[in-house]
Amino acid sequence: MPLFTIIGSSNAIPTKKRDTTYLTLQTKEKYILIDCGTNAFVRLVQSGMSPDQLTDIIVTHFHPDHVVGLPLLLMDLWLIGRKQPLIIHGLNETITRIEKMMSLFGWGNWPEFFQVSFQVVPQVKSVILYDSSVKLWSTPVKHLIPTIGLRIESLSKPFSIAYTCDTEPCQGVDDLALGADILIHESAGNAKGHSTAGQAGEAAARAEVDKLVLIHYPNHSEESKLINEAAVNYSGEIITAVDGMTFRW
């Protein structure tokens, strides 16, 4: 039974309770990390998952709050003796920067470091990966740097989750969200490259999703205010994401 977990739900300023936004998807065959926040190794263990089981990491864009934990996670996997290869997916620009970051850490000289391979995600709507239970595709969204949003579609029953990542309202968000069961939409606020909770509600209404989950909202926000703001435009169920929230299907 696939399991989708919100590991962290905060904007770029984490707290004790809320880590920066990153997510996992577990299926029978794959264990996928979506972005890599400040304390991934510990948070994955706390969520009852073994970090060594990771098969894929998808990096949505190269902003620190989405990628900062990656060097330490890779190092820790090496130190616990990982042997199996790992695939990292991202846009060309994202991968180029990850390689530069890792070369600063001298990862080419880590003895017996496990194999990491990169899969370039095209700058158009495209399937990133699939297995017997899910198909996961991405499309570019409108952020400050090249960024992708994601959609997970179940192959066993009609069920889908869309994740906008960091973005202004745009066609990519509408494509990802269309008819989704769950739309996980950022609500960082009124700033270039981001969306308000009200705009998240508008997107949820346009796409006729069943449920809206607000994520990446500032820690000083009053959650009821965010929900009320989104509800101006959207009459479905609205909740705010918290760390550890899970969805199964």
- Interface residues with Zn ion (CB under 5 A) are 63, 166
Measured torsion, CA atoms of residues 185, 21, 121, 83, in degrees rounded to the nearest 10: -150
**From the CB of 145, what's the least distance to Zn ion, in Å?**
7
Name the DSSP class of 244: T
Consecutive H or E run containing 53: none
Of 63 and 142, the one with the shorter C-beta distance to Zn ion is 63
**From the CB of 123, what's the least distance to Zn ion, in Å?**
17
Consecutive H or E run containing 99: helix 92-104
**From the CB of 141, what's the least distance to Zn ion, in Å?**
10
Of 20 and 26, the one with the shorter C-beta distance to Zn ion is 20
**From the CB of 61, what's the least distance to Zn ion, in Å?**
6
**From the CB of 115, what's the least distance to Zn ion, in Å?**
29
Rg (Cα) of the chain, in Å, rounded?
Answer: 17
Of 63 and 185, the one with the shorter C-beta distance to Zn ion is 63
Of 18 and 63, the one with the shorter C-beta distance to Zn ion is 63
Of 12 and 239, the one with the shorter C-beta distance to Zn ion is 12
Consecutive H or E run containing 168: none
CB 212 within 8 A of CB 185: yes
**From the CB of 10, what's the least distance to Zn ion, in Å?**
12
CB 85 within 8 A of CB 118: no
Of 165 and 212, the one with the shorter C-beta distance to Zn ion is 165
Of 2 and 90, the one with the shorter C-beta distance to Zn ion is 90
Strands (E), 64-171: 86-91, 116-121, 126-130, 134-141, 147-154, 160-163
Q: Within its chain, how far is the Cα of 82 from the centroid? A: 23
Q: State residue 147 phi and psi, 5-degree precision.
A: -145, 145
Q: Return the axis-axis angle of helices 70-79 and 92-104, rounded to nearest 10°.
A: 60
**From the CB of 177, what's the least distance to Zn ion, in Å?**
19
Give the bridge partners for 45, in sequence order. none
